[in-house]
A and B are shown apart, each in its own frame.
Chain A
């Protein structure tokens, strides 16, 4: 699904966020991306989203080189990916339903299909009864679940999450992670970036560990099982 080939990313000013990073994420796998803050987790996710370009090396998504993706191709690339942010990036000028419907509206889905899929996604995250509310009145955990519903509503091949449990207490965090497991069990590839190692340990899934821009563990499948 995703393959990084000796990817480096340095920012103007000389800061090197990623150094010769290589790893592979097979289709349908769920992986954790761990490391201290500043280790390069967010940069790695941004590269997959084509929000940033690599300075060196190549990134393949579904066998296609992301460097060859033109400016016009980027939006269509992003439509195949769902993203969950730490700050959930919800829009407070519209209802929960409209927030979740956003990716479908952008893709121009039929209204009836949109309503059906939005309700299915909200049902999945247990917020079907809140669809008419403004997300501002929801709790932090509920807001994050709305964010997750928005990330999966268009049935992406890949779900990326950047510190999705950053602001939540352990119980809610576990709940969110279990939600990801459920999506993974129906075939969605998932990569969750988190610095909360205690949360990750219990799942027994592959971990890619980043340290100062380098991968120190889990670059390829099965490696962490060795």
Chain B
């Protein structure tokens, strides 16, 4: 007898999952999900307002995240193309330059090397600038030999490591100057970092806003349904049964908000896509513009909306549950 009770008390929670309880539980969920959906539709204005606010907040943060991600990948690409130019002292022998190139080609931080002899440099300059005649007035070719170093991919965006590499290159005997535009890189890095953090901060603030809006909507719902909740309580409704319609209301608000946000992201994304593409093209970047609504974005928005909806409702229910008790 004793043993029986202890087993029963230890595994008592299993009773929650027994078919005897599970079937009524599922039935009540289905019933409540349907009825709270119907109620949302019975108050179209209230529903539209709440859903609209949620959708706008979700769409804004999604677009910001997409912009930040786009900036990040554009930056990555630009870092890749930022080669280091080493200008050799005039009159350095070709042999030394080739030895130098051989030495650095095997370095793990270096992806590729390219030697531009003074002659090649001159030809390039003439064809690009059309100022060849000025140079030909010199007795000697005034251009130095140049070795162009392309840093390895893994160094992309890592200013500190790039800086070390440039210092090492500069230390070589014949190298006069090593040029990499750090200031420009740093600035770009900072901007992308800023947009990145901005999108996280704004995203968090907007999520908080959604929670507050929903909390307030659900609070009003609780007040409107006071009578109903008291009756439910008196005919044997558990706390969970009283809470369930409110949580489902939050769930539907959030899910609808997510769905509308999908539409907003698609529209705004389409509107911004063309001008953004022009900007990117002007930097000769092959980065894609705003991704718009892909399948993962679609699912994420729905899941995010629904879970924010549930959490907002839950917070409100926790706070106002005492009002539901009958007196």
Contact of B232 with A by CB under 8 A: yes
> Inside 8 A of B280's CB, which chain A residues have their CB?
none
**A78: which of B27, B28, B228, B235 is its contact (CB, 8 Å)?**
B235
Expressed in whole angstroms, the Cα–Cα distance for A81 and B233 within the complex equals: 12
Number of residue pairs A-B, CB distance < 8 angstroms: 56
A78-B230 contact in complex given A105-B28, A105-B31, C-beta closer than 8 Å: no
Decide if A106 touches B235 in the complex (CB within 8 Å).
yes
Contact A49 B234 (CB under 8 A): yes
Which residues of A sit under 8 angstroms from B25, Cβ to Cβ? 108
Taking a contact as CB atoms under 8 Å apart, the answer to whether B235 and A83 are in contact is yes
Residues on B with C-beta less than 8 A from A91 are 227-228, 231
Contacting residue for A76 out of B23, B31, B236, CB 8 A: B236
Interface size class of A (residues with CB under 8 A): 20 to 34
The chain A residue sitting closest to B325, CB to CB, is: A51
Please classify the interface of chain B as helix (H, G, I), strand (E, B), loop, or mixed, using the class held by over half of its residues.
Answer: helix
**B1-60 CB contacts (< 8 Å) to partner A:** 23-28, 31
Name the contact of A106 in the complex, choosing from B23, B227, B230, B241 (C-beta under 8 A): B241
CA distance A106 to B241 in the complex (A): 7
- Pair B236/A107 contact, Cβ less than 8 Å: yes
A77: which B residues are within 8 A, CB to CB? Answer: 236
- Contact assessment for A108 and B24 in the assembled complex, using a CB-CB cutoff below 8 Å: yes
Chain A residues with CB below 8 A from B24, complex form: 107-109
**Across the interface, do B235 and A79 meet the contact criterion of CB distance under 8 Å?**
yes
Q: Report which A residues bind B (CB closer than 8 A).
A: 49, 51, 72, 75-81, 83, 89, 91, 93, 102-103, 105-111, 150
List 7 A-B pairs, minimum CB-CB distance, nearest first: A108-B24, A79-B236, A78-B236, A75-B238, A103-B235, A108-B27, A108-B28
Chain B positions within 8 Å of A, measured between CB atoms, are 23-28, 31, 227-228, 230-239, 241, 326-327
Given contacts A106-B235, A109-B27, 16 further A-B contacts (CB under 8 A): A49-B234, A51-B326, A72-B238, A75-B233, A75-B241, A80-B236, A91-B231, A102-B235, A103-B235, A105-B31, A106-B28, A106-B241, A108-B23, A108-B24, A109-B24, A111-B27
